[in-house]
Amino acid sequence: MNPNGTVNDEMWTEPRGNSMAALFRQVRRDGRPALHEVSLITAEAEGVVLRLRHLHALLEVPERRREISTFRLVSAGGNRCEFSGTGASAQVVSVVYRLQGPDELLVDVAFAPESKERGYSMRYRRVP
């Protein structure tokens, strides 16, 4: 549960071909959807790319987020990978995924100092 009482779920597909896809959802205390996100990681000629699209509760695209958020892989190894935002997402200086064991994933998101956003961390546990 998040400090504001919402709950996050994130489900990733198995890698297939050159990609993996994910669905994220955030649910409010009253059970109503708050936010959805669709993610895609692809291996491309210029490197590994993470793209994501934020959607409001009923799958509307937020006006200020019409552009797909794009991140490039900066480093990977030792159960850790780091992406950095590009283009309109350049204020996201890092998205770090860390596997803490077979059933736990930590995600840390950091923003540029001039951004109005505050960094945050999420902890996910594998559900059988």
Average pLDDT over all residues of the chain: 92
pLDDT at 2: 73
Measure Cα distances from 35 to 6, 9, 53, 110 in Å. 10, 11, 11, 20
- Report residue 40's pLDDT band, with 50, 70 and 90 as the boundaries: very high
Return the number of other C-beta atoms located less than 10 Å from residue 24's C-beta.
19
What is the DSSP pairing of strand 69-77 with strand 47-56? antiparallel
| Residue numbers of the domain that contains 89 | 7-125
Q: Which residue has the tokens 């992406």?
A: 83
Kindly report the backbone phi and psi dihedral angles of residue 91, in degrees, each rounded to the nearest multiple of 5, phi listed first.
-70, -15
Kindly report, residue by residue over 85-121, the tens digit of the pLDDT. 999 899 999 999 999 999 999 999 999 999 888 999 9
Q: Which residue has the tokens 């959607």?
A: 55
* Within a domain: 28: yes
Kindly report the backbone phi and psi dihedral angles of residue 63, in degrees, each rounded to the nearest multiple of 5, phi listed first.
-55, -45
Based on the structure, what is the number of domains in the chain? 1
* Within a domain: 86: yes
* Within a domain: 22: yes
pLDDT at 63: 79
pLDDT at 62 over 80: no
In the structure encoding, which two tokens stand for residue 25, read together?
Answer: 């959802």
The CB-side HSE value for 5 (13 A sphere, CA atoms) comes to: 5
d(CA 63, CA 52): 15
Kindly report, residue by residue over 65-85, the tens digit of the pLDDT. 778 999 999 999 999 999 999
